[in-house]
Amino acid sequence: MDEKTLAEVRERFGKDRFATENGAVIEEIGDLYARCSLLLTQSHRNALGAVMGGASFTLADFAFAVAANWQNPGVVSLSSNITFLGTAKGQSLIARARCVKDGRRTSYYRIDVEDELGNPVAAVTTTGYRK
């Protein structure tokens, strides 16, 4: 991946304000792939001190959006399913979005969310629709 391309993609998706204002960062891009991260703060935690499920889902949704659109914009989420696997023990979350099937109108992605220590946090599947 060339740094110029990554910088351009970061600039374009900087307009995805909900994710970026909550700390989501694009770390890596590839063919129908994206790795994004989120540094955890107190604002990402629930009353029990655990990371809110919405933080994991926001990061996964952002990684999907980047993976599905950075090369060829126009894909929106048709449906998503999240399974929470465990509690983050580290200081950040990492989401890796990979395309499983890329059809003419629909696509299917798997997004794995873990903390930086490698602990699984959530598994997300998303069906995309090309407008």
pLDDT tens digits, one per residue of 26-51:
999 999 999 999 999 999 999 999 99
What is the rounded CA–CA span in Å between residue 1 and residue 31? 10
Predicted local distance difference test score (pLDDT) of residue 4:
75
pLDDT tens digits, one per residue of 85-110:
999 999 999 999 999 999 999 999 99
Give the start-to-end residue ranges of the domains of the chain.
3-130
| Strands of the chain, DSSP E | 24-30, 33-39, 75-84, 92-102, 106-115, 120-130
- For CA atoms 118, 124, 127, 131, the dihedral sign is negative
Name which of 111, 86, 123, 122 is nearest 35 in CA terms: 111
Predicted local distance difference test score (pLDDT) of residue 1:
57
pLDDT at position 2 over 80: no
What is the rounded CA–CA span in Å between residue 25 and residue 34? 11
Predicted local distance difference test score (pLDDT) of residue 120:
98
What is the rounded CA–CA span in Å between residue 129 and residue 101? 12
The CATH number given to 3-130 is 3.10.129.10
Quote the pTM value.
Answer: 0.95
